[in-house]
Amino acid sequence: MPAPDRPPLSLTERRKAATQQEIALAAARLFAEHGAEATTAEDIARTSGVSLRTFYRYFRTKEDAVAPLLAEGSRRWVALLAATSPGTPPLTALLDSARAALAPAPGHPAESLAWTRGLLRAMPDDPALRDVWHRVHHDAETALHPVLARLAGLDAEGLDARLLTAAANTAMRVAVETWAAGDAPPADAADLAGAAFRRLAGPLLPPA
Partner DNA sequence: CGCCTGGATGGCACGTTGTGCCATATCCGC
Partner DNA sequence: GCGGATATGGCACAACGTGCCATCCAGGCG
Regarding 192 and contact with a second copy (CB under 8 A), the answer is yes
- Reported as half-sphere exposure (CB side, CA atoms, 13 A), residue 141 has a value of 18
Binder among 17, 33, 61, 158 for DNA (CB under 7 A)? 61
Q: How many whole angstroms from its chain centre is CA 139?
A: 9
Binder among 40, 104, 124, 142 for DNA (CB under 7 A)? 40
Binder among 57, 108, 134, 138 for DNA (CB under 7 A)? 57
Query: What whole-number distance in Å separates Cα of residue 208 and Cα of residue 196?
Result: 15
The answer to whether 201 touches 160, Cβ cutoff 8 Å, is no
Nearest to 119 by CA among 33, 197, 12: 33
Candidates 40-48, 107-115, 134-142, 152-160 — which segment interacts with DNA by CB under 7 A?
Answer: 40-48
Size of the site for a second copy (CB under 8 A): 29
120 contact, one of DNA, a second copy, none, CB 5-8 Å limit per kind:
none
Regarding 53 and contact with DNA (CB under 7 A), the answer is yes
61 contact, one of a second copy, DNA, none, CB 5-8 Å limit per kind:
DNA
79 contact, one of DNA, a second copy, none, CB 5-8 Å limit per kind:
none
Candidates 1-9, 17-25, 98-106, 192-200 — which segment interacts with a second copy by CB under 8 A?
Answer: 192-200
Environment class of residue 98 by beta-carbon count within 10 Å: exposed (0-12), middle (13-18) or buried (19+)?
A: buried
Question: 197: how many CB neighbours lie within 10 A of its CB?
Answer: 21
Nearest to 171 by CA among 159, 179, 160, 181: 179
Which residues within the stretch 125-184 sit at the binding site for a second copy (CB under 8 A)?
Answer: 127, 130-131, 134-135, 137-138, 159-160, 162-163, 166-167, 170-171, 173-175, 177-178
Q: How far is CA 26 from CA 21, 117, 144, in A?
A: 9, 14, 29
Give the binding site for a second copy (CB under 8 A).
Answer: 127, 130-131, 134-135, 137-138, 159-160, 162-163, 166-167, 170-171, 173-175, 177-178, 192, 195-196, 199-204
